Chains A and B, each alone.
Chain A
Amino acid sequence: MDTKVFDMNDIDIAWCPGCGNFPILKTLKRALAELQIKPRDIVLVSGIGQAAKIPHYFNTNVFNGLHGRALPAATAIKAANPALTVIAESGDGDMYGEGGNHFIHTIRRNPNITNIVHNNMVYGLTKGQASPTTQKGFVTPVQVSGVFLEPFNPLAIAIALDASFVARAFSGDIEWMADILKKAIKHNGYALVDIFQPCVSFNKLNTVQWFKENTYYLEDHDPSDRQKAFEKATETEKLPLGIFYKSPQKPSFEENVGIYEEKQNPLYKRDLDKKKLNNLLETFKMRL
């Protein structure tokens, strides 16, 4: 499939030139095209922020909701119609800060969705404040003496919660990113893809060059080894990239909700059986 099916005509993109969002946008289109998934069968769900604008540059179904709330909406969309490919995508502030509670519980719930997080370690849309993943010592207009909060470690948290698929990519490496995204989308269950990306306007520390020097790809790593995955996720010297962890196959949220065992049709194609409701009402007559 040609990636052009996902192109929008005549759009004014709100990102800065050189932003890491551009290669992510391009690579996601490529991954979906290579997987032969049609625009009408995809829903891109996002929150608020620069990364969260990605659905507006993508020709597909879109639910651009509230700041931090992409995951609950995405979970329900998938549950209401499991035939859809649902991708929840936003930045580190949206997914790990405002939406932190949903991040934790969506992992526990395990819907069959892909969660892509653009992680540039800074707030872009609100202009340069610390994000949950900002490294210690980083000075901003608000964190004037430098960040002293411990950085949020999404991968370690996901592995601790036995997330079904945990990976990290880098926006500067399209081939690897495309491969990881395809595997994440194909995976049955919740899949986290944290993507390192530069913010050319507000993060002068974690630049493309910095990411190149401070990351490496996992090799000979067994993603079913949870202890090892956790160890890798907590490394700080150099940050690993690749697929960290895949939990042994467990049922997805949709498989657990109990209404898709006998029929697979989405909720909008189902109708109330009035006879069953009449039977239920009958029980409230409290007869012997």
Chain B
Amino acid sequence: MSKGLSSHNPKNVSIVLCGQAGQGIQTVEYLLTRILKLTGFNVFATKEYMSRVRGGMNSTSIRISSDPVRAAANTIDILVPLNKGALQHVERNISSQTVILADKEIIGEDIDQTKHKFVDVPFTGTAVEIGNKIYSNVVAVGTMTGLFRIELSMASKYVEKFFSTKSSDIVQKNIAALKSGFDFGAGLVKSSKINFEIAADDTVENQVLLNGAEAVALGAIAGGCNFIASYPMSPSTGVLAFLAKHGKTFDIIAEQAEDEIAAINMGLGAWYAGARAMVTTSGGGFALMTEGVSLAGMLESPMVIHLAQRPGPATGLPTRTEQGDLELALYAGHGEFPRIIFAPGKIEDAFYLTQRAFNLADKYQVPVFILTDQYFIDSYYNTAAPDLSKLKIEKHITQTKKDYQRYELTKSGVSPRGVPGFGDGLVVVDSDEHDTAGHITEDLDLRIKMVDKRLKKGEMLRKDNVPPELTGPKNYKNLVVCWGSIYNIAQEAVQKLGREDVALLHFKQVYPLPDEAADYLQKAKQTIIVENNATSQFAKLIKFQMGIDIDKKILKYNGLSFFVEELTEKLKKALN
């Protein structure tokens, strides 16, 4: 097995850790990704987990590379199964290249010497020697740091920082665990059993390591968000927790509502009184919010809705991923009113689009959606830090005069928005059809004027859009189309194809679709759409909005997102 891996793909390594919930895989992932980033390696991590707090089988995949790496791969170069059955959980991705680092005592029976490349690492034995088997996680972290020739002193400092709130005895034992693991990893390198050639990248140091949830929440803060009400629901809760954690610093009220109905009605009340509010939820919770979405339409209230998708219908697969709620977001709410739907592809998209969502919601007085999914929310990588210098929080609140009318008919359809207590006017809003003052009416001629007023704003939304992004050759023949979280996966897959006639078109605004999108699609001889759902909802939207048929569809709906190699193969087939 000497240098087995170095000849395989030394500049790009994929590690998978697998074990039970509650076993501390998250700690390994956390420490390892941070230490790798500190070293200057490009790093990507994602996880898949079962809907339970203890037991079951969860895995974390970490990719390490000399070059930027931003998408999930299914190749496993190093597998660390932490308990019995873990190996079988990821069996389908184990290849002849996979090196399994495991404690023989624990998972010995799972090893098949005829097909597995196995190195016995006594994680548990070492941990027990140090004092307790709970240190075995840090022994594993240490083994990796040794394997990737990371500076031990730097890794020790980070581990010390991580455990700084614990007693000095615990800190010392964790550092001892790290060192034992490190020695073992370094030993493997020395004996040339495993050898990687990953180089540090100078740009990494100044970059941020963010996951999707953090990027959405930070974008919200940058958009001036100061109110969030939500009900916990995987995978959307991270945004609520993040804003709650930083509430005091940024003057944000973060409230856990009794249900999603309360959450969105709180959000609308907050906007009415001058706050900048959002809700974060997933499909089932959002279903409860739909009447509130309709209320936003009628009140002409701004609203920002983060909808982190997971597979439905109903409870579906609570901890898995899917792009199955595009149509739900598109049609949610009775009656006719305009809206905007964003679907970030890159981590930085999530930051900038959420920031923009607050400005647009306020400007046009419409609900704005940020559509993510579990894969996006739980994946992270190093990327350029957001540039705040050019970002502006656009507040569109007017100081009212005595004769103020909330729904004054204007040319654009947007009426100046006052808030109670700011100025001499009164602010009246009503879920009933209303007159220009905001009071209930059944004047049917006025009804037409009010419907037209609300819909007129939709025209502006179509023009003030975020255009789709084309990567690859401009004179393409084949166009791969995707939206939302698929971007990085498709980007790497298309790059892997290495064909000069294939380009990628990614939509980060999926509604309304900009007119120029049609030009991109019509130029292609063949279009192939990639979606993480069963009915190709975005292709249907393209047909409905632009009358264009997509030629081929690559769909996946088993609860996981695509892997780069898998998508590459599927694209190859579709292109032949």
Contact = CB atoms under 8 A, between A and B. Distances in A.
A80 B269 contact: yes
Contacts of B248: 258-259
Contact of A62 (B37, B295, B393, B429): B429
B392 to A, nearest CB: 10
A277 B422 contact: no
B246 interface: yes
A182 interface: no
A75 B253 CA distance: 12
Contact of B253 (A61, A79, A83): A79
Interface stretch (A23-31, A194-202, A206-214, A268-276): A268-276
Contacts, number: 202
B205 interface: yes
A64 B273 contact: no
Nearest to B226: A267
Contact of A80 (B227, B247, B299, B388): B227
* Interface range for A: 35 or more
Given A102-B262, A104-B258, A105-B262, A65 B295 contact: yes
Interface string A41-82: 101010010000101100111111110010111111111110
Interface stretch (B13-21, B431-439, B515-523): B431-439
B459 interface: no
A281 B261 CA distance: 32
A286 B37 contact: yes
Interface string B406-430: 0000000000000111111111111
B269 A63 contact: yes
B38 interface: yes
Contact of B421 (A40, A55, A259): A40
* Interface range for B: 35 or more
A284 B210 contact: yes
A102 B265 CA distance: 11
Interface in B141-171: 154, 157-158, 161
Contact of A64 (B37, B206, B275, B440): B440
A66 B295 contact: yes
Given A267-B227, A271-B393, A76 B424 contact: no
A174 interface: no
Contact of B440 (A43, A53, A101): A53
B431 A284 contact: no
A180 B261 CA distance: 31
B386 interface: yes
A142 interface: no
B440 A56 contact: yes
Interface string A78-112: 11110110000000000000000110110001000
A169 B401 CA distance: 37
Given A65-B431, A80-B273, A288-B38, A72 B250 contact: no
A63 B438 CA distance: 9
Interface in B257-285: 257-259, 261-263, 265-270, 272-277
A79 B270 contact: yes
Contact of A259 (B154, B214, B253, B292): B253
27 contacts: A40-B420, A40-B423, A40-B426, A53-B440, A61-B420, A62-B427, A62-B429, A66-B295, A69-B265, A76-B227, A77-B269, A79-B270, A102-B261, A102-B262, A104-B258, A267-B251, A267-B274, A268-B395, A268-B422, A272-B221, A276-B250, A280-B218, A281-B386, A284-B385, A286-B37, A286-B38, A288-B157
Which are the 8 A-B pairs with shortest beta-carbon distances?
A268-B274, A73-B269, A76-B269, A80-B273, A105-B258, A61-B420, A284-B208, A72-B265
